[in-house]
């Protein structure tokens, strides 16, 4: 470019090198090319042809585009200053397919092959040679297509929690999603994602884990149970989800001592108090069930009827034992905190229980008198007082198993007659 006429207006141009076989690779080469073109360029009228092409023989053609033809001086001359504002280069495939290169062709490869990248080699693969497996958008070339651990060509990546789409498997070692055949898992991840119910031949998924635990062994049982076969131990009232139990631990409750039942309830409450899902479910603190509920738990689970004072002593004895331990971990500390907050409600329940039983025993006495007046002496001597709910007007009684039918009568007729005579609703205490 001529720099002698600095005061003259600069003529901006763009070089079109798309048909030039040896495009310049540096600034110096670009300047040298322009010096070859400039003698011919100054002979052109920019208004007559804003885009002109110059034939350089075997090297091809070079195009010159005048960007502002109307502002260019006329005529152009050796002293006219030019400025190259842009260069159009021929298209170049920089990411080429390694597979295509071996056959002598050049193909754009948008995908990276992890196998070819080993040892810092940049391996690329084109659309035609890319191999994709179900479960991931990761590509590879044919030579590095993933194989299963058994050596067979893999067909899918396992998307389970253990593999996380990092391990590929063949069709033999894959198990498909029950409702979406496009999603596959290895055997271990499938068992984790869709565990079998503990009940034999059950086709349902055992999503629920048995929560049975003790303070000495806080790790839960963990057996997998489906929604149909899970047993809920209602220890927190009818409006709270009960402890999930497998069939083995549910049946074992009947033979468990009251002391151990209290231990299981406390351990389960400690686990819920420290669990994130229970904290997020409610702003209220997780509490031990009131001893009025514990009383019915003992009755329904193992048929043991205890006074409130006896149940209070069970909790007090457990608290004393925990405080006497030589060392305390987080479980023991949480259990002691729950027991300390439980004392107030225990005292309230004991006082309420005493008041209710005074009133309840009066209704119970009327019921026994009604049975004797009807000549039903065996029932009058066998029936026992269990509980009284003054708010709902319900009198709970215990009747030996062999006399239940006689006490109820056909269609509950005998019970309805007693309720009319006594003035409250009469219900049999459930047994475990």
Distance CA 362, CA 356 (A): 10
Domain count, the chain: 4
Distance CA 292, CA 94 (A): 79
β-pairing, 111-112 vs 168-169, is: unpaired
Q: Which helix (H) or strand (E) holds 64?
A: strand 61-66
Pair 77, 143 in one domain: no
Q: Decide which of 354, 374, 407 is a domain's last residue.
A: 354
Both tokens of residue 297?
């738990």
Task: Check residue 211 and report its DSSP letter.
Answer: -
Both tokens of residue 359?
């009133």
Task: Check residue 54 and report its DSSP letter.
Answer: E
In a domain, 226, yes or no: no
Q: Decide which of 295, 321, 354 is a domain's last residue.
A: 354
β-pairing, 11-16 vs 82-88, is: parallel
Both tokens of residue 292?
């009025």
Pair 397, 361 in one domain: yes
pLDDT for 3 equals 47
Both tokens of residue 107?
């193909």
Residues 6+ apart with CB under 8 A from 70: 46, 47
Count of other CB atoms within 10 angstroms of residue 224 = 19
In a domain, 103, yes or no: yes
In a domain, 269, yes or no: yes
Q: Decide which of 33, 59, 88 is a domain's last residue.
A: 88
Pair 25, 114 in one domain: no
In a domain, 208, yes or no: no
In a domain, 321, yes or no: yes
Domain that holds residue 416: 357-428
Pair 300, 323 in one domain: yes
| pLDDT (tens place) for every residue of the chain, 432 residues total | 444 445 678 999 999 999 998 888 888 999 999 999 999 999 999 988 789 999 999 999 999 999 999 889 888 988 899 999 999 988 878 888 888 888 888 889 999 888 876 555 568 899 999 999 988 888 998 888 999 999 999 999 998 888 988 899 999 999 988 878 888 899 999 888 889 899 988 888 899 999 999 999 899 999 999 999 999 998 887 778 889 999 999 999 999 999 999 999 999 999 988 875 544 444 457 889 999 889 888 888 887 878 889 999 999 999 999 999 888 889 999 999 999 999 999 999 888 888 877 888 899 999 999 999 999 999 999 998 888 888 888 998 989 989 999 999 999 999 999 999 999 999 987 654
Pair 74, 18 in one domain: yes
Pair 81, 132 in one domain: no
In a domain, 215, yes or no: no
Pair 394, 424 in one domain: yes
In a domain, 2, yes or no: no
Count of other CB atoms within 10 angstroms of residue 124 = 26
In a domain, 181, yes or no: yes
Distance CA 368, CA 72 (A): 123
Asked whether the whole model's pTM tops 0.85, one would answer no
CATH of the domain at 417: 3.30.300
Pair 293, 324 in one domain: yes
Both tokens of residue 185?
């898992």
Pair 292, 331 in one domain: yes
């Amino acid at each position: 470019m001529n720099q002698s006429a600095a005061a003259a207006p600069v003529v901006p141009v763009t070089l079109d090198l798309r048909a030039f076989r040896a495009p310049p690779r540096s600034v110096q080469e670009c300047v040298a090319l322009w010096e070859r073109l400039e003698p011919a360029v100054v002979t052109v009228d920019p208004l007559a042809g804003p885009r002109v092409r110059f034939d350089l023989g075997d090297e091809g053609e070079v195009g010159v585009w005048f960007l502002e033809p109307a502002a260019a001086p006329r005529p152009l001359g050796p002293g006219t200053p030019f400025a190259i504002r842009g260069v159009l280069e021929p298209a170049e495939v920089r990411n080429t397919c390694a597979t295509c290169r071996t056959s002598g062709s050049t193909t754009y490869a948008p995908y990276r092959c992890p196998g070819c990248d080993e040892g810092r080699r940049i391996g690329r693969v084109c659309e035609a040679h890319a191999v994709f497996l179900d479960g991931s958008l990761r590509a590879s070339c044919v030579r590095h297509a993933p194989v299963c651990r058994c050596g067979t060509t893999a067909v899918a990546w396992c998307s389970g929690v253990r593999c996380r789409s990092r391990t590929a498997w063949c069709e033999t070692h894959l198990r498909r999603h029950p409702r979406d055949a496009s999603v596959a898992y290895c055997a271990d991840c499938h068992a984790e994602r869709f565990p079998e119910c503990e009940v034999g031949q059950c086709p349902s998924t055992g999503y629920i884990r048995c929560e049975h635990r003790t303070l000495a062994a806080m790790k839960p049982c963990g057996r997998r149970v489906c929604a149909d076969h899970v047993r809920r131990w209602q220890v927190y009232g009818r409006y709270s989800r009960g402890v999930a139990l497998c069939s083995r631990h549910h049946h074992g409750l009947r033979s468990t001592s009251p002391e151990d039942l209290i231990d299981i309830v406390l351990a389960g409450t400690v686990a819920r108090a420290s669990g994130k899902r229970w904290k997020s479910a409610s702003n209220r603190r997780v509490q031990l069930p009131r001893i009025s509920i514990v009383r019915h738990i003992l009755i329904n689970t193992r048929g043991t009827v205890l006074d409130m004072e006896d149940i209070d002593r069970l909790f007090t004895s457990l608290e004393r034992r925990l405080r006497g331990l030589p060392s305390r971990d987080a479980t023991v500390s949480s259990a002691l905190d729950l027991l300390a907050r439980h004392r107030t409600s225990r005292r309230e329940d004991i006082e309420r229980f005493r008041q209710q039983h005074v009133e309840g025993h009066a209704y119970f006495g009327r019921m026994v008198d009604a049975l004797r007046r009807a000549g039903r002496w065996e029932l009058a001597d066998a029936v026992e007082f269990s509980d009284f709910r003054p708010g709902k007007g319900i009198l709970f009684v215990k009747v030996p198993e062999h006399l239940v039918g006689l006490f109820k009568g056909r269609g509950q007729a005998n019970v309805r007659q007693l309720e009319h005579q006594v003035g409250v609703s009469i219900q049999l205490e459930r047994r475990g």
